[in-house]
Amino acid sequence: MIRNLLLFLSFLVFFSFGQNIRAQEQKPSYVLVIHGGAGVITKKNMTPEKEKQYTAKLKEALQAGEKVLKNGGSSLDAVTASILVMENSPLFNAGKGAVFTAEGTNEMDASIMDGRDLNAGAVASVRHIKNPILGARAVMEHTPHVLIIGEGAEEVAAKNGVELVDTSYFFTQKRWDYFQKVKKEKEEVEKHGTVGAVALDMHGNLAAGTSTGGMTYKMKGRVGDSPIIGAGTYADNNTCAVSATGHGEYFMRYVVTYDITALMKYKGYSLQKAANEVIMHKLKDVGGDGGIIAVDKNGNISMTFNTPGMFRGYVTSEEKSEVRIYKD
């Protein structure tokens, strides 16, 4: 009888091991999700040519990040690579395409977070850092701080080899014309356009990053949610990585990216359930508009938004890939 019991227990151990192997095989070895901002993005307001440009650039950003992940690189490097592509494009409200403040200047914010140890870095109100996401990494990797603003952030960036440029680099005619229109009308419109990326790498590590030029015609010195850890960016290997885009004041008040991870950690919510609770209920009920992209520790993704559209896309090691713009 003892012998039969031992044989039965051995069978259970083997069966359990086999189930774990199959479960691991079903989990993608890497995942990358990106966004290029959420807002009033509708097909009737988008020309076919412009739609092609956005689609091509989103695919380029995905390819840049996936190249890192495919070669066994870190989620941090993948997130950085994807965001760099979007920061260097005038299509998005980050880096080269940053919008203008009420003073007619560009002030940019960015943040990045490592899910392994919750290490994070951010910069705010920078005017000369060509790629603010690199400034955020410099803060994370070369200082004991999390958030540095203005000239202090630019000094950290310069000391660590991050390229600084004259403010004229950030000028684009499209953003300037729009600034003039908004200035004339004295309205705050087209608030969104932030870029971000989240990734799960082959080592099981999560990372998130976000970069923005902020609101068109914002007050000088205004800082939104993008450089605020827990509001615009959050990553924790125990739960998920999240990057947000939307009306920053609401995302800060409701600590959106951390709230999603907290619902997963303390209430046992799935990633999608947590994202729906925060974006489609908590935020929407108080008039906060925008969205998030996220990936959890098991490779599940969410691209949830309560606006008419959000530039977004994802790619996985299972060769699943998609780029989308509109709600439908």
Q: Please return the burial class of 268, using the count of CB atoms within 10 Å of its CB with bins 0-12, 13-18 and 19+.
A: exposed
- At 35 the pLDDT is 98
- At 186 the pLDDT is 58
Give the tokens for residue 251: 């995302």
Catalytic annotation present for 216: no
- At 192 the pLDDT is 53
Instruction: Using DSSP bridges, classify how beta strands 31-39 and 195-200 pair: parallel, antiparallel or unpaired.
Output: antiparallel
Cβ atoms < 10 Å from Cβ of 147: 18
Which of 249, 256, 203, 250 is CA-nearest to residue 229?
A: 256
Give the tokens for residue 306: 């309560």
Q: b vs e for 72-87, b when ≥16 Cβ sit within 10 Å of the residue's Cβ?
A: ebbbbbbbbbbbbbbb
Which of 189, 162, 172 is CA-nearest to residue 106?
A: 172
- At 193 the pLDDT is 72
Query: Beta partners for 109?
Result: 212
Tell me the pLDDT of the chain (328 aa) as tens digits.
445 544 444 444 333 333 332 233 468 999 999 999 999 899 998 999 999 999 999 999 999 999 999 999 999 999 999 999 999 999 999 999 999 999 999 999 999 999 999 999 999 999 999 999 999 999 999 999 999 999 999 999 999 999 999 999 999 998 898 888 877 775 444 445 799 999 999 999 999 999 999 988 899 999 999 999 999 999 999 999 999 999 999 999 999 999 999 999 999 999 999 999 999 999 999 999 999 999 999 999 999 999 999 999 999 999 899 999 999 7
Q: Which amino acid is at 158?
A: A
- At 77 the pLDDT is 98
SS3 content of the chain, % helix, strand, coil (to 5): 40, 25, 35
pTM of structure:
0.90
Q: Which residue do the tokens 């299972």 mark?
A: 318
Element (H, E) at 289: none
Q: Which of 80, 194, 233, 257 is the catalytic position?
A: 194
Q: Tell whether domain 25-326 is in CATH 3.60.20.30.
A: yes
List helix spans (H) across 209-255: 248-253
Q: Please report, to the nearest 10 degrees, the dihedral formed by the alpha carbons of residues 280, 195, 297, 265 taken in order.
A: -50
The residues spanned by each domain of the chain are 25-326
Q: How far apart are CA 95 and CA 67, in angstroms?
A: 22
- At 178 the pLDDT is 82
What are the CA-CA distances from residue 207 to residues 15, 27, 124, 163, 261 (Å)? Answer: 34, 17, 20, 23, 13
Give the tokens for residue 206: 């999560």
